[in-house]
Amino acid sequence: MYLPEGCTRPERARLDAFWAVARAQVPTLGEHYQVRWIGLDGPTTRQIFDLIREGDKTGTFGLPWVFERTGQPVPRRGDELILIDFDGTPTMVVRLTDVRDLVFGRITAADIAIDGSPVRDLAVWKPLHTQYWNSLLKPFNLAVRDEMPCWAEPFELVYDGGSTG
């Protein structure tokens, strides 16, 4: 699992225990999961979790360039992801409902409608994602370009371990 600088790597035993509880609550969950972080830091990650809980944020975005260079599996419809907080705490499970190929320079308002309302304006979304993705791409001597491929990954929230106390 690839994590950005500053994000705490979760313990496998903790992830497996979280998954076991999630599967007991949601019998349709499969046997396998992937792990992803979401957000820039602890506070933004928790804000994003709240947007997901409210149904305001219904998807995320991925960079093929990062997945290719870190050995992560290419996302597919039906993948179940444990979303972790920046401190490594497994918090919720989402299931990808689609994966759409996009080109960064041609992203439209319709493409980003799955993101949270605070960043749904292209004038906010593009600079924010340019800055964030440049930080992810820097270790690979890459930078955001208009022709860069990316994925839109709509999802559904299937388990929220953070809301159970």
Looking up residue 90, the CATH number of its domain turns out to be: 3.10.400.10
Any residues with CB less than 8 A from the CB of 152 and at least 6 apart, and which?
59, 61, 98, 99, 100, 102, 111, 112, 114
Count of structural domains, the chain: 1
Residues 107-121 have pLDDT tens digits of: 999 999 999 999 999
Given a cut of 70, whether residue 137 has pLDDT beyond it is yes
Under 8 Å between Cβ of 75 and 93:
no
Confirm whether 76 is domain-assigned: yes
Cα–Cα distance for residue pair 64/80, rounded to 1 Å: 18
- Roughly how many angstroms between the first and final C-alpha of the chain, as a whole number? 27
Residues 60-74 have pLDDT tens digits of: 999 999 999 999 999
Confirm whether 73 is domain-assigned: yes
What's phi and psi for 147, nearest 5 deg? -85, 5
3-state secondary structure of 154: strand
Q: For the CA atoms of 38, 42, 43, 48, what is the dihedral angle to 10 degrees? A: 20
Kindly report the pTM of this predicted structure.
Answer: 0.93
Domain with 37 in it: 12-24+33-160
Residues 38-57 have pLDDT tens digits of: 888 889 999 999 999 999 99
Confirm whether 77 is domain-assigned: yes
Q: What is the pLDDT of residue 122?
A: 96
Confirm whether 4 is domain-assigned: no
Residues 10-32 have pLDDT tens digits of: 999 999 999 999 999 999 999 99
The rounded mean pLDDT for the chain is 93
